Copies of this chain bind each other. A is one copy, B any other.
Amino acid sequence: MGTRSIKEVAELARVSVGTVSNVLNRPEIVSPATRERVFQAIRELGFVRNEVARHLRVGRSRTVGLVVLDVSNPFFADVAQGAEGPADEHDTMVVLCNSGADPVRERRHLDQLEQQRVLGILITPVDAASPRLTELAARGTPVVLVDSAASGAQCSVAVDDRLGGRIAGEHLIERGHRRIAFIGGPPSIKQVADRHAGVMSAVEAAGDGVELVACAMPTLSFDTGRRAGERLAAMPPGERPTAAFCANDVVALGFLQAMAARGLRVPADMAIVGYDDIEFAAAAAVPLSSVRQPRELLGRTAIELLLEEVTESERHRHRQVIFQPDLVVRASSEPRRGG
């Protein structure tokens, strides 16, 4: 194998290993002549520092793991992108891990990250209450919850999903809808549960005559949305809800597609509001109304909290940051024609 060690560099440059290490880490303390000789040897051998050994000795990695529910949801791509800026500045590497909303895979990723002794973990958990998360923190791997509020024992960055759900619900009610569907994923996912609770509170506040039809699906995918859409489309027009609030935009886009396929008009026959306001929402068949979240800001803030925790380790106080969502109204929920 072509990997060279610091020792070989030392031999070639005719200095001790300590000196090579110094050249690598504190070049200013070694004399220009020696330094140059070492650099020369490094170049000649194609030496690449073994970060693993370094990490073992130093005891701290320069990698943080970001575990997301679904890499293929652009929402998470944006969160990841937001995290990369501050990470770069602290020359830290962000690695993305996909749990696919599967507790088993999430577990495996967490195990692996802990075993690798990463600097810390940013995670959108499948189950925020899982003891695994607090265990991690207790054993020395700081964890920041992303898009999910923590209860005090750890840092978190979230958006008020209840509020988001309520805003969406109020908007649809105001537009004259009386029978509203909530297309959600597994209620074990906090975001889903909160958005549901939010829209529910709006419906309840509107009093009699307005009702919510919950449609819990097993996942939060495009296909899920499509299937839910087909199910609703198959209902007799009298019973069918006239509006749907989808737990996220990916689901909403699938739902929208099903409407088109079944010949239902959006928003005339079915109004739709999504969640996240991903870039594609505006570009959909019918531009999608959506509850906007500050995606990049979530990622950015999360990693800042993590780095803060790592730096101040001693006197660190966990913080729970909460952002406010807002509604972006587009064609998919324009005023209904026939009140």
- In the complex, the answer to whether B282 meets A284 with C-beta atoms within 8 Å is no
Q: Closest approach, in angstroms, between the C-beta of A109 and any C-beta of chain B?
A: 7
Contact A139 to B46, CB < 8 A, known contacts A97-B93, A116-B51: yes
Given the contacts A50-B117, A284-B283, A95 and B98 also touching, CB distance less than 8 Å: no
- CB-based contact A52/B282 at 8 Å: no
* Given A71-B81, A96-B71, A115-B51, also A135-B56 (CB < 8 A): no
Q: List chain B residues, Cβ under 8 A from A63.
A: 116
Convert A100-143 into 0s and 1s, putting 1 for each residue whose CB lies closer than 8 angstroms to a CB of B.
10000000110010111100000000000000000100111000
Residues of B within 8 Å of A282, CB to CB, are: 257
B81 adjacent to A77 (CB under 8 Å): no
Question: Within 8 Å of chain B (Cβ to Cβ): is A3?
Answer: yes
Q: Is A80 close to B, CB under 8 A?
A: yes
Asked whether A286 lies within 8 Å of B285 as measured between CB atoms, the reply is yes
Q: Are the CB atoms of A1 and B77 closer together than 8 Å? A: no
Query: Does any Cβ of B come within 8 Å of A241's Cβ?
Result: no
Cβ–Cβ < 8 Å partners of A2 in chain B: 138-140
Besides A71-B80, A74-B74, 5 more A-B contacts (Cβ < 8 Å) are A2-B139, A3-B117, A52-B52, A253-B283, A284-B285
